[in-house]
Structure 1
């Protein structure tokens, strides 16, 4: 069953405390190259701002860098937070990327700011921009499509590159908009699992075929912790747990080494919050992960998986994606 499901990776360029930004981006590049060698379908980078420990604020620059350092894998944004940017600038940037790396660029879009309210205002003083998200998606489609002879503004480059647009979300709003526009949809199960079943059902039910897509296409983002045994995977998973705990406490998000036990690091309420945040995590060895993914495909009919893989050690991180491809084969 899994052999026909594309596997992709979602990257936040996680940084270990004590590492430099250069070292972190070098590790991200090597990780993308390994994913390319293994045959992963996509490598997407997620826009975040003002978050020590996450090094992907300049998303389009990283997309270009990774595309230039790989051969076959599709590279894109997962996503660009559109309220932070002019649609024209996004069209020009991704039109340039598509022109440099034809047939390998994806443009995933989100309507959240990708940061806290203060940082959002620093990025864009118009806090109502998110309300214009549907119109700005339409504007981007126009700018990246063939020139219609009437539109007063043209993206040069960008025009007629037809970069594939994906809508990302964790709410019913994005699912409904993707369905209405006939665009592929990505559900953010890696951090907001609550509405997964409802969002998938809504998207399928209301999907309208378009020039971009004839039938619904759903990609699900999941947190991955893969190792050669369930016991090792549970140990490695404490890195993600510590990070989410730091996020909930408003602390910096450095990647921390795994611990033998989270006992004493969180209280009961925090434990429940972290476990809820990560409730769709795929944790284990080959058999456990294979079973978990097959159950999700059977229950929800997912077309593609995209995994976060925030392990502390680069070799273990590479081993995790090797395990995924071993399962797929």
Structure 2
């Protein structure tokens, strides 16, 4: 059907030749008639013909054959992680400029970013500070590659620099949160990292990510350190958390209640490192005048404290 107002009329006809369930040949003819400036159904006509033929069928194996000579045994680490070489701040600065010029979603940018992370791991704290002063610029799309790369660096020097950047107040809130949460993924934390970050717990308005990120880092450190309770940096953090408890976790208003719940959750996060706080936690849980939320949070704070801390003896019986 073609209405009198129709401008374009098209028709497609195809003839297919199928043998044994396989399409061997297809011939198609498409005819189009443009009638916009014509009368009596006449107009400009175009006709396109296409031919598709099957010339060859090959059976492909599911797995390509591999010459055993090309196989070798290696670790699961990126090869760059095992690379030992001197890296200068100038080289990293140049790399940052290249990242800014590269398209943000290109393979080139991904490779440059990975290179940046590995090269940051070779820089000292002094070199990183100089790099930050010179290269904390934003790219034209408002991207700061150095800010995004630092959390993946995971060296003590990078963590100390991140702490100083946080303390300076130069960073947007979402990036600060990004920094804090990244601490929980550091696989080999050091006492120097913990010592550097500890003062942030005392900062006015310290966020949830600050408490939980730092105590997660502390837990990972103590999981690998047999006598972590004797490490001065660990003791500083635990003393700070203990002071927040105030002896029995008593609070006066909803704001203090929220803060106390956060501190108790952070203590639970710290686990073994916070074993010395067990008597206070027991008192917080047993004190009937405390809100039920506080008492439950105090009990949950025992979740990572080992049985050697005699949790069952510290908790009140029949309450």
Q: Tell which has more relative contact order, 1 or 2 (C-alpha 8 A, sep 6+).
A: 1
Structure with the bigger percentage of helix: 2
TM-score tier (shorter): under 0.3
Length-normalised TM-score, structure 2: 0.26
Larger Rg: 2
